[in-house]
Structure formats: C-alpha cells, structure tokens
Structure 1
Amino acid sequence: MSQAKIEFYKGPAGGWGALRSVARQLLQHRIAAKGARTLLSANQPDGFDCPGCAWPDRQHTSSFEFCENGVKAVAAEATADRATPELIGQHTVSALRTWPDHDLEAMGRLTEPLVYRPATDRYERITWDEAFATVARHLRALASPDEAVFYTSGRTSNEAAFLYQLFVREFGTNNFPDCSNMCHEPSGMGLKASVGVGKGTVTLEDFEHADCILIFGQNPGTNHPRMLGELRAAAKRGARILSFNPLRERGLERFADPQSPVEMLGGGATAITSDYFQPQVGGDIAALKGLMKHLLTLDVQARAEGRAPVLDDAFIATHTQGFQALKADLLAEPWPLIERESGLSQAQLHHAAEVIARAQGVIACWGMGITQHRHGVGAVQMIANLLLMRGMVGRPGAGLCPVRGHSNVQGDRTMGIDEKPTTAFLDRLERVYGFAPPRHEGFDTIGAIEAMRDGRAHVFFGMGGNFAAATPDTPATWAALQRCALTVHVATKFNRSHTVHGREALVLPCLGRTEIDQQATGPQHVSVEDSMSTVHLSAGINEPASPHLLSEPMIVARLAEATLPHSRVPWRWLVEDYDRIRDHIERVFDAFQGFNEKVHHPGGFRLRNTASERVWATPSGKAQFAVHAIPQDTAVHEARDQARQAGHQPERVFALTTVRAHDQYNTTVYGLDDRYRGVFGQRRVVFVNAADRQALGLAEGAWVDLVGCAAGDTTERVAPGFKLVDYDIPTGCVAAYYPETNGLVPLSSHAIGARTPTSKSVPVTLRPAQEA
C-alpha cells in the first residue's frame, strides 16, 4: 500500500509508470505467471474480452491488446485470494459495512452461494437449490410482478442479458434499471432524436482518417486507456485534438505507449491534445453554442472571400431538418452570456472553431462529463448539431463517438435490457415465445429506488454491479434497499451492496470473464458489443475460482425454472450450448440474422448503424437540429441564487464534479493511488483552484467537509473529512471521488428527459472539517 502523500506527477500517461503498475497488480494478487498468460489472451480471437471498458480492439486480433486498467480488472478477477463463506462469516455484516471499498474488494473471489442470517448478522453458505427456491418463493408471493426490480450491470454478456430479459418479461414486468440509466442515457436519448440511432456512428477506422478529434468531458487516460493508442496515432500523423474538460488531465496531455520500444527506451512521449480548453463545470452547452456561432461567422467570411463554405449546404438541405431555427437561436445568443456560462473567452472559442472549420474529417467524443448533468440530453444534441452543420456524420473519418464504460453496457440495451421497450420488440417476443409480455413502462434506476423507498417494490435482484455504491443519494438508496423483503446479488467479488441488504439476502457467485465456462456440450463462448457496435466472442481460459460457481446464463435459467415451472421456454436446454441462445436471439432481432455464423469469424461483425449510412430513423426521416437555451437553471445556479437571496456569498457555492481515481473502475477500488493527479495512498481529497482556497482562508492540505446545498433540498448532506489539494481546475469548481461523494447528489436531481443522476454538477460549500 502506498504511503499517503500528494506529489505532482511529472511523467506522461502510460510509460514506465503503467508497466510498474502492471507488475505490482500481478504480484499483489499472487498470479505473476498465471496473470501473464491470461493477459496474452485478452482481446484475442480465441480469448476473452477485457472485463474493463467498452473501447474496441483492432480487429480483435492484435497480439498484445490490453492496458493498465485492463490489467487491474483481469488481475482482480484472476486473483489467488478467495472470499470463502468461512472468511466472510468471521465478520458481522454490520462490521463489514464499515470497511472501505478497497478492503471488501481485497477479500478475493466469492466461492459459494451465501445467505444472510439475521440472528447472527452474518452470511453463511447455502446450496444453489435452496437459493433459487428462496428467490422463487419471494417472487411468486408478490401481489404484482411490478413489485420486483431486476438490475443489470454492463458486464453481463449478450447471452445472459437476453435470457434475463426474457425471464423477467415472462414473469411479468419491465422493471429493468441498469447502469445506462446512470451514465450514458442522455447519449442514447439525445442521439436517437438527433440522428435516429442511440449509439455512436464511428468505427476505429474513422480515427485513421480524421484530422480533427474533439473530446468533451472525458478522461481517457484513466477511464479508457486503450483509446490513447488511437489518439496517439492521430496526433503523430498531424490530426488536431481539441480537449474540453474542466480538469487538466495528464492522459489528455501526453502519452508514452508502453508497447512502443522507441518511446519507452528513449524516454519520449507523444503530445495528445493540441489545444486544451477548460470550461467551467456545466458550461458545455454554452461552449458548444459559442463554437457554432463562430462557425456561422466563419462561413459568411469564407463565402464573401470566394472560398469554400464552412457549412455543408448540400448535406443540410438533403439530410437535415431545423437548421434555420438553430441558426436564428445562435445568432441571437449574446457573447457575454456565452463567455460567463462556458468559462471560455470568445477568442478561445474562435480559435477552436477555426480548427474545426478547416478540418476535412471531425470526430466528436464524449463521456459522463457531458451526460451527468441536468441538461445532459441537450449537451449531447449540441454536439450532434456541431457535426451536422459541417456534414460530419455518415462519412469516413467523421462522426459521433459516445465513449461508454462497462464492456457490454451497449450490448445489454441491444438485447432488450430497457425499462421502455418498443412495441415492435414486445410483439416479436410474443410471436416467438407465445406469452404476452407486459406493455407498460418499468422502473429506471431512480424509479426503482423510489419504489423500494415507498414500499412499492419488495424484491431487488442485481445481475452484477454494485448498486448501493453506484447510485446517488446514498442514505436514501441504502434505506430503500433495506426496506426490501429480499435482496439478491450475482457477483464475482464481495462488495458494498452485499452489506446493504433486505430482511433476507443472497449473494450468488458467478464465473468471471477470464474463466472457462463449461456446459453440457463443452466450453462456451459469450458475445459482447463494444462502443462502436461490433459484436465479438469472448471465452475464458482459466479454471474457475471455485467448482461451485455458475455462469450468468445458467443462473438465469435455473432461476426461471424455479420461478416459472410452466414456462415453455427450454431454459436448461438453451444453456447447454450458447449457440442455441444466439439462435434464439436471431429469431427476435432482425439485426442478428446469421448471428452464429458471423460472430464466429475472428473479429466478429458490426451491427448496422443507419446514421452512419445517412439513413435517418427519425419521425421526419431526416437528422434533426435541436435548439436548447444556455442553461441558467442548474442546481448550482439555483444554489447560488439562494445564497444571494439569503445575503450570503454566492461565490462560496462550488460546482462539484465527481471523478474516478486511477486505481478505480466505476465503483471497484483496486488501490488507493491516483497517479496522474499526484494522489497516493488516500481517497478523501477534494481538488480545488488555489485562488478559491486562498479566498476561503484555508491552507493547502487543510481538512474540510463537503456540504450539499441544493435549493429546496431539506436533507442534510455532508461528506466529512476531505483534504484540500490545489489543482488546475476553473475557479468556482471542485472535484472529488465517488462513491464517497454520492450522498451529496439528491435522488430528485437528474437529467431532463433521461433521469441520469447529476453527479457531475453538484452544488456544495466547503467548511473546516468538524469532529464527528
């Protein structure tokens, strides 16, 4: 464990620091030889898909295709440590609830099903038959199927997700909260309305031809390190990369490829970002409107001077609708408002617009820094507007690229994990399987928490993930889970959610992505869909951590058999050979015709993306420009107005954005270092502009409490004991890690039209830390 210290990181992203981290991870988990062999099978035709992020691989056939964070995920899964019933049972669940997330993770792999015993406040082993009977008993006892909630993590395979949604819909509900509800829901909602497809439109090959790449609200060095390889290649051939991110992030500045002998031995690195812009937290729509307003001006100038227009007139006329309304809105937008709300000057935005105007191929990438805001849908549509103005959708080297997190979060949605299923999809299920699926909308994540809180839902079933740690409003979420009659979690590791349980609780251990999935007909492959709509196979190579583990498809099949004894779906037969599951997927989804034949080819296949073909699946049949006002009604605006009305200093209300540390993937904390930000051996830090800290009269390194101050929120929200760390971040903004700060996000604060928690724009004040 690193010593707690703050030490500026001078090196590039990647490089020797990444290789040292790889070695440390393999040694820490006591799998040096096994881990090396395992990593050589990561993202290979006959190997497994990395259980980390959803960034795609070159043809899924390269010889050495993994990154530092992928190593952490693989090492954590392949660890020699075992969380046996005896080990877990040494501690009361009340005691385990007080453990840091890192310590829970470090116990190792779960080995047997566990049941919570209230009399002893401990988990004990239970047989699989008893576990499935317990779940079935609770489900059948509900007054309505809608009193059960079925959560899905983005690591669930296509095969497991398809069976899961089929079981739940035959059971009778569309209550499918999933991790998309908490991250990229605004991307799907915004893009569906703008271009007719709720997914990105680019492929990796487009990155080879783009001469301008825009990055909004994303930190690939920590969250998607393999993306840095594409950015490095683009930068080396002269592409301009413009980054818009409030925090100065090393992964967007410089990258030394650990697989490049020249850079490693020569001590060199590649500059990634050519121009770095730091909008204030929540300033993205204002910045995007400033860019587009400048593009209009540059277009007028170009035409007046007899040069080629900046705007693509033919594309706009043939393929779009609503441009004149957007143009009028942009021309009427005053520059003082754009500058104030974006945090960027007119000159900065003019410079960026000039780069965009000259480019022949523009790709726009974004992450949760765009989506986890009240106006996240609007921000996504503004990015789409920017590219549509220049005809940069549906052509080589250009397009929209939402960068998703978990390795199959996009595939789960494709398989029907959606609380708002389409009528066409439900009709197909009914024709194929002969039962009437529910037609009403189910609960999303926010709705599920509210239903459990209000006593309208009594059973929570989690297919992977860490619901209690991933969700907003920690006190409300925990209280909601604890009101349930039964909570069930399918998992590979013991985590926070297993300590926040209902009156009865089960933990069901499953196979990991790196492990051999042996079924009746032999070892199986699962399939996953990456961020760019490519579907490929994944097969583990390691022996399972325990002989008692079941695969996720088998868990679903046995649960369905126990709960639905009269079902006509041949559950166990399907799981004997996953090709049979894929045949059934093909019967339900037209896009998967020839599924088995296509997916067994190395590299898999890409699903059709109509927007990339300039076929617009929108009501108008055209791509749609959207008009959105510059937000002046965010939670931060409201909190500052409230402070002003009360005679307080509004500048003391900060916009908190939550971030991951480098030794973290989503809610999984692998270690306590955040190397690129210079934080070691600790997590309770808050990054602050030095000028703001000095204005508060606080010393660097002082301890403060973060106090939520959302207007109208009557709940006292305090995240205690954070160390102030000076950082390059705009004034008025601070940043801290989640899940430690999730309790500061009210359940009622979510994106308009998508209900994604506003975790990237939380109003807080800083006060000197108070003793508990």
Structure 2
Amino acid sequence: MKDNRPEGIEQYDHPAGGWDALKAVARTLADQRVVAQGTMTLLKANQPEGFDCPGCAWPDPKHTSSFEFCENGAKAITWESTAKRSGPEFFAKHSLSELWGWTDHKLEDAGRLTLPLRYNSSSDRYEPIGWDEAFRLVAQELNKLDRPDQAEFYTSGRTSNEAAFLYQLFVRAYGTNNFPDCSNMCHEATSVGLPKSIGVGKGTVTLEDFDYTDAIFSFGHNPGTNHPRMMTTLHNAARRGVPIVVFNPLKERALERFAAPQDPVEMATLSSTPIASAYYQVRAGGDLAALKGIMKAVLEMDAADRDAGGPGFLDRVFIEEHTAGFEMLRSDVENTPWERIVAISGLARDAIESAARIYVNARNVIVCYGMGITQHTKGTSNVQQIANLLMLRGNIGKRGAGIAPIRGHSNVQGDRTVGITEIPNKALIDGMERAFGFRPPGKKGHNAVEAIEAIAAGRSKALVCLGGNLAVAMSDPDVTYEAMRKLDLVVHIATKLNRSHLLTAKTSIILPCLGRTDLDMQATGPQAVTVEDSMSMVHASRGFLRPPGDMLKSEPAIIAGIAKATLGDRYGIDWDWLVGDYDRIRDKIEEVFPDFGDFNRRVRVRGGFRLDVAASFRRWNTENGKANFLVAAGLDEDPLLDNPDALVLTTIRSHDQYNTTIYGLDDRYRGVFGRRDVIFMNRDDLARRGLKDGDRIDVCGLAGQGERQSVVRGFTAVAYDIPSGSAAGYYPEMNAVVALGHYDHLSGTPSYKGVPVTISAAGRQG
C-alpha cells in the first residue's frame, strides 16, 4: 500500500499517544540540545511550585502529577528552553533577504533571541541596540503619530495576566482601544456569542464536572494534537463507560483510540482505549445544520413521548424559570426541512437521530468544541446553537453538565479577563478610573481583521506585537504582508525569530523577552506570573531556568520600559514600582476587576482559584436576566458555495506544530511524513475532477464581489477519509486562499474552517 501512495504518505495504524509519543519527546529533547536540562524542566511543568506549560489551556488536575505534560506540551517547553541561540553573530551572518527564503520551521529553530535588535536597511540585517535607545525610538515613533488610534497593539495568548494587564494600562493611557488579539482569530465567536446566550463568554464547566457527566459531545476539535492533556480526561471517561460523541470532518486518531503514556498497563501491553463511542463525519461547514438536526430530533422525540403519555425529554422547569426565546427557537427548528439538514450537514437523518437519542438518554451532558465551530462565517451562530442544545434539557448550571469551549493558547482567556479587548465595557472603564485616576477612551478599537485593513489603507502606521506571529496567523498573506511593509513602526516582543519579524517597517525593532520557563528576577527578587485556563482557574507560574542571555527582560519590564519612555509621568503611574514586585500588579488587577478579590493570597493556595462564572450557578448576566435561546437564520455556510464546483476547505494543524510554530514536517497520526504541501480530499471528489491520489493540484479561493482571488499552486492531492464536498490543508499555508474579508461579521473571526475553493489539476487555474 505504501509503495502506491504519494511520497511521504503512509498508513499509520497505531493509537494516539503510547510509545510513539514518548519517542517523539525524546527526539525533540535531543534536537534542541536540552536532554538533561529538558528532562528536569518537564518535571516542573504544571506543578505547584513550577511553571505553567506554554502550550494549551487545558486545566491541571489538582497540580499533583509529576507527569502532567503531553507530547506537544513537551515540544512547546523544549522549543522554548532550547540551547540554540539567535545572537548577534547569527544576524551578522544572515541578511533578511536570505532569511525570507527559510522555512518557518528553520526560522524558529534558530533558537532564542538574546539581545534587542534594530533593522538596518542599508545592510539588510538586524543589528544590536541598547534597551534605552530601543525604548526611546519606540516612544519617538508613537508620539509623533497624529493620534493614538493610528497605532495597533497586538497580544498573543501566551502573555501572562500581569503582562497583559500592564499592556492594556499602557495602551489605554496612551489613548486607544486598538487591541487586535489572537483570540480574534480563534474563540472570538465564543466571547461574542455566549454573553448574549448565557451572560458570560466563557465555559461553564470545571475539570471535576467530567467525573460526573453521563455523556460528552465533541464538536470541531482535535485534542490529540491541539490540547493533548485533555486526552487523560477523555481516556478516563471512556473507561468508565461514558458515551463520547464526536462531530468532526476528519477522523482524528486520538478521538478514535488512545494509549495513555501514564498508564503502565497500556504501555506494557501495547493496548489502547477506544475513545469515541460514535463518530459523525460532518461535512466541513455543516455544523449549524447538524446542531439544528439534533435539536429537531430532540423536539420530535419529546413530542412523541408526550403523545404516548410520557413526561417528554425537555427540561420544562428549567426552560420556564431560566430562559427566554424557546418558542422562537422551536418554530425555527421545526420549520427547517430534514432534506436541507441532511444535504448541508452531510449526515444521514438516522445518524443525527442516533446522536439525539444519546443526548436525551443522558442526565448530565457536557459539550466541548473548538475552532471547527468558531472559525466560520457563522461561527457565532454555531456557538449559540450549542448553548441552545444544552438548554433544552437544562444542561447548564448543574454538576456534570455545561458548555466547554476548548482554548488553545495557555492564557488567551486570561488576556481577555484582565482587559485585552477592543470593546471595553463600562465596568472596565470605571475600574481603570478607580485604580489609576484617569478615564480611558470608550470608543471601540480594532480587532485583528480591522487592524490589517487599517494598516493596508494607511490609517494605522504603527504596530506593537506582544508575542505571536501576526502576519502568518492572519488570513490573506498577500494583503497582510504588503500592508505590514507600509508601517512607519513595528515592534516585536518575542522569544524567537519568526516570519512576521522579516516584514520590516521604516523602523523595525525586536525586543527579546523571557519565556515561561525562565527565572524572572526583579527588584524584590524572583517573580511568579499568573494564567487563567479554559475553565477559569487562575494559578501561578514560576520559571527557574537561567535566561538564555543577560540582556533579556520580562514582558512586564519591557512594557513598563516602553510606557515610561512614551508617557513619562502621565497620570502619575509609577511603572518601575509596579514591575519591581508583581504582587503590586496583581493588587491593581484586583482593584479594577473585583472578581480577583484577595488575588495575591488566593493565587498562593495550591492549585489557585476559580473566577466567578455566573452561568455555572444559573445566574444570567444578560440584559433580560435570562438565558436566551437564539435563532440562527438558515443553514447555509456561504453563498459562494452555490458554485457547483466548489468544495469547503478546512485548515488543520499537523501533529508537529502549535499554531504557527512548526516543530517538524511530520503529521504522524494522519500518515504524513516529511512534508506539508498536501490537500486531503474525498476519493469521489478527486474522480469527479479527473484527479487521483498523488496528483499535483492548484487550490483557488473563491472570492466575493470586489475581493481578490488567490491561488495556491502545486500541492499534492491525498485521498483521505473525509466527507464528499470537503477538503483539508495545513494552516498557515492555506491562509493564502482565505480572503481578508471572509470572516464572521458578528465576531470578526476569519473563516479558516469554511473556505470556499475550487480544485483542479496543476496549471489549469488562471
């Protein structure tokens, strides 16, 4: 079979996890030259006196296990704590023109940045610069803008609560709410959709709820790659007989079967545990139809049971006491034809009804979802339909039940909680005035798409990035790259080199920062930072490794340095005093956000503390004080799909990457080795286009009126088990066919998981 497949495409039959995961960790430790130090570092990951893994935001189980890390978490840790360095000799040797030709993997594999850098266009190289001079230049460029709204301030979800809070303080004191953020590109549909449904833009469950649930529904995520520590929870649930129902276009190996590396029996016997009890391969972009289909089946079962003299399957007491809008939802769902649901979801009616039966037969249900739900033009509606489904049977606000958005970046949720938002509410503005004596602007700022649009149009002239790889993460690189090269100022606060750093402005500066694993020494001694996980638990993180260079500063110290140089003593904020002891920053967080009451004491308690999530206790912080059933009009993902040749492309991460960071070129569980230039397609879709497994193809993104059409050329078609009408390719390479204007207009989230494309033999597309 292997000999007949394209180069680098093999059949992989092993379970997820197991010995292959441990071998991958060992290879990563050796490759980054941190075998001895790296092993010690892994043992401090997610520990009470250790550091929080810079990978995913899955919560820690009581902070007790010495082995509470996973393969991809280990890669993230070793990638950060690498012995490799990108020092002055590296930049003296390599011009930016040369570096542009490197792969993203090779750029970040060059190692940790060790000193501040400024781009010299004459030599086409980054050259060393002192910290004071760097801060002076940044301040000079920011202060010569016509108005603060001409600057954009991006944040990565790896940023700690303390750094994010100082950042938003600086930016609001500077005078703008332009906060493009990585959450704009992932779970913004959650942040926008759930407050209207249940009054909070976060999940309602705790990790302990998984011990009491009777069924887990999983929509649009791949935990084995993107949040592997979740697999321990799913593994435990599956072994005690909890139905795990999966809706996903691709069959992801970890959701099929998993061998826990911490389980001595499975490791010794080479056995594994089946995870999904039912796996429904929904068509890409068909989630809204599938969710309405499940609700339609639930309503029909309820009516049939009541007609037979039974009590029905709806929680009528919950609906009556706690919700509004049920009759409107019922009307919409009942008037949605089964024929349309089946056609758009790609699932047979009896398959949807079987999922509904599992749902109604379970007392306590948790629904987990990822970016397969949010990254669509109807992402906000998708999220709200999940809330609707749960509310039909009162599955919010009780033990063992609730909604669980599964976040990626380790503190993407915390960033938002402490003020990184382009839409500040009155409570935030009042809190800032209370704590700092000035009233920040209330005008809505820019999200990520709006920031790129403003830069492209020349309305914004400066960009400061607190971590991340914005240009590569964004959709439509042709537009994004060209826009960023127009800037007057770009500043990157970073641990390692990436492609965004090569898109130079008139003044381009890189400021190297400490990572999560590094010891952070300030005026009062070693410091801890805090993070908030996907389930609203806040806990401390303490690095311990000697930093990779004497010139590195912490993110809070860098932000304070820029703020002090830019603002002087405006509003009487003593930036040096705040950074000297992070307890002082936490005191100010508590003053602005009362939910953090007694912050410094509570975060020192083993395991930290949970922020108040009102919906977990059936308190609904909505305008009407109720949880709201919200109607999503229609089922269609995108009018561009009316094209009879169109497919829906979903972008995916390989098992050897974390967001835009590419650790290697293998995607083990999908049988891809040594390459990323592949498009997964259904065999019938290939045949209809006169194509076969291994053919070279071009992928053309369909464009709306006034949008530019983009083509990615020369990829390889791989026949795969994926629904007809769907295709999949790797992110960020396939961002090239996602138009900048192709996003959810309620949340601003680009439609990375629902891209209308046409595919043809290489060379046929114009």
When normalised by structure 1's length, the TM-score is 0.97
2:701 paired residue among 697, 708, 722: 708
1:729 aligns to 2:722 (yes or no): yes
Cα distance, 1:752 vs structure 2: 2.6
**Number of the residue aligned with 1:18:** 21
Partner of 1:146: 149
In 1, are the aligned partners of 2:341 and 2:635 still within 8 Å (CA)?
no
Q: 1:612 to 1:583 in 2, by over 3 A?
A: same
Q: In the alignment, what sits opposite 1:629?
A: 633
Q: Do the aligned residues in 2 keep the contact of 1:158 with 1:408 (CA within 8 Å)?
A: yes
Aligned to 1:577: 581
The residue that corresponds to 1:555 in the other structure is 558
Aligned position for 2:183: 180
Number of the residue aligned with 1:309: 312
- 1:436 paired with 2:439, answer yes
Measured in 2, the distance between the counterparts of 1:606 and 1:717 equals: 45
The alignment partner of 2:164 has SS state of helix
Alignment partner for residue 740 of structure 2, among 747, 751, 755?
747
* Alignment match of 1:760 (pick from 753, 760, 764): 753
Equivalent-residue separation in structure 1 for 2:207 and 2:366 (angstroms): 11
Match of 2:63 among 60, 65, 82: 60
Matches within 5 A, 1:391-410: 391-410=394-413
Q: Aligned-pair distance for 1:56?
A: 0.5
User: In the alignment, what sits opposite 1:647?
Assistant: none
Q: How far off is 1:541 after superposition?
A: 1.5
What is the rounded CA distance, in whole Å, between the counterparts of 1:769 and 1:687 in structure 2? 15
Tell me the distance in 2 between the aligned counterparts of 1:639 and 1:289. Answer: 22
The farther-off stretch of 692-701 and 26-35 is: 692-701
Partner of 1:165: 168
8 Å CA contact retained: 1:468, 1:477: yes
Note the 1:318-467 alignment, pairs <5 A: 318-467=321-470
Amino acid at match of 2:640: A
Matched, 1:9 2:2: no
1:438 maps to a residue whose letter is P
Q: Name 1:646's counterpart in structure 2.
A: none
After superposition, residues 563-712 of structure 1 pair within 5 angstroms as 563-567=566-570, 568-632=572-636, 634-635=637-638, 638-641=639-642, 643=643, 650=644, 652-712=645-705
Q: 1:481 aligns with which of 466, 469, 484?
A: 484
Task: Compute the displacement of 1:394 (Å).
Answer: 0.2
Asked whether the 8 Å contact 2:156–2:466 carries over to 1, the reply is yes
Q: In structure 1, how many angstroms separate the alpha carbons of the residues matched to 2:7 and 2:26?
A: 21
Work out the CA distance in 2 between the residues paired with 1:335 and 1:315: 28
- Structural mapping, 1:101-140, within 5 Å: 101-140=104-143
* One-letter amino acid matched to 2:715: F
CA distance in 2 between counterparts of 1:566 and 1:16 reads 57
Q: Tell me how far 1:306 sits from its aligned partner.
A: 4.0
Q: Deviations over 1:429-488 (max 9, x none)?
A: 122212231111111101100111111111100000000110011011111111100111
User: In the alignment, does 2:91 pair up with 1:88?
Assistant: yes
Unaligned segments of structure 2, at least 5 residues:
1-5
User: Retained in 1: the 8 A contact 2:707–2:739?
Assistant: no
CA contact (8 A) 1:375 1:631 kept: no
Rate the CA distance shift 1:613–1:178 in 2: closer, same or farther, 3 A. same
C-alpha separation in 2, matches of 1:353 and 1:630: 20
The residue type paired with residue 367 of structure 1 is: G
The answer for the alignment partner of 2:474 in structure 1 is: 471
1:61 to partner: Cα distance: 2.6
Question: What displacement does 1:301 show?
Answer: 2.5
- Give the 3-state SS of the residue equivalent to 1:412 in structure 2: helix
Partner of 2:197: 194
Counterpart of 2:511, as a letter, is L
Alpha-carbon distance in 1 for matches of 2:640, 2:176: 38
Offset, 1:379: 0.5
Deviations 1:493-514 (A, max 9, x none): 0001001121210111000000
Moved more, 567-576 or 18-27: 567-576
When residues 201 and 34 of structure 1 are mapped into structure 2, their CA distance, relative to the original with a 3 A threshold, is: same
Residues 206-244 of structure 1: per-residue CA shift (max 9 Å, x gap): 001111100001111110101111011111101000000
TM-score when normalising by structure 2: 0.98
Give the equivalent residue in structure 1 for 2:42. 39
In the aligned structure 2, how far is the partner of 1:89 from the partner of 1:67? 37
The residue matched to 2:664 in structure 1 has which SS? coil
Offset at residue 693 of structure 1 (A): 1.1
Whether the 8 Å CA contact 2:703–2:709 is kept in 1: the answer is: no
The aligned amino acid for 2:672 is: V
C-alpha distance in 2 between matches for 1:604 and 1:307? 46
Counterpart in 1 of 2:517?
A: 514
Residue 716 of structure 1, CA deviation? 3.3
1:770 aligns with 2:758: no
Instruction: Find the partner of 1:237 among 240, 253, 263.
Output: 240
Aligned partner of residue 23 in structure 2, secondary structure: helix
Q: Is the 8 A contact 1:464 1:491 kept in 2?
A: yes
What is the distance in 2 between the residues matched to 1:274 and 1:681?
32
CA distance, structure 1, for counterparts of residue 412 and residue 546 of structure 2: 26
Q: CA offsets, 1:33-88, max 9 Å, x none? A: 10000000000000000000001010123221000000000010111110112212
| Bigger mean CA offset, 428-437 vs 240-249 | 428-437
One-letter amino acid matched to 1:639: L
Pairing partner for 2:266 from 263, 266, 269? 263
Cα RMSD of the aligned pairs, angstroms, is 1.3
| Secondary structure at 2:733 match in 1 | coil
8 A contact 2:485–2:505 mirrored in 1: yes
* Secondary structure in 2 matching 1:137: helix
Compute the displacement of 1:183 (Å).
0.6
Q: 1:669 to 1:712 in 2, by over 3 A?
A: same
Give the AA of the match of 1:171.
Y
CA contact (8 A) 2:683 2:692 kept: no
Could you tell me how far apart the structure 1 residues matched to 2:474 and 2:113 are? 23
The number of aligned residues is 759
1:208 alignment partner in structure 2: 211
SS in 1 for 2:126: strand
CA distance in 1, matches of 2:641, 2:613: 43
Q: Are 1:156 and 2:163 counterparts?
A: no
Shift of 1:703: 1.2
State the Cα distance separating 1:713 from its structure 2 match: 4.8
Residues 376 and 752, structure 1, Cα contact 8 Å, conserved in 2: no
Does the Cα contact within 8 Å between 1:211 and 1:240 map onto a contact in 2?
yes
Contact 2:177 2:443 in 1 (8 A): yes
Match of 1:540 in 2: 543
Cα distance in 1 for partners of 2:714, 2:56 equals 31
Is this contact kept in 1: 2:220–2:373, CA < 8 A?
yes
Ranges in structure 1 where 5+ consecutive residues have no aligned partner: 644-649
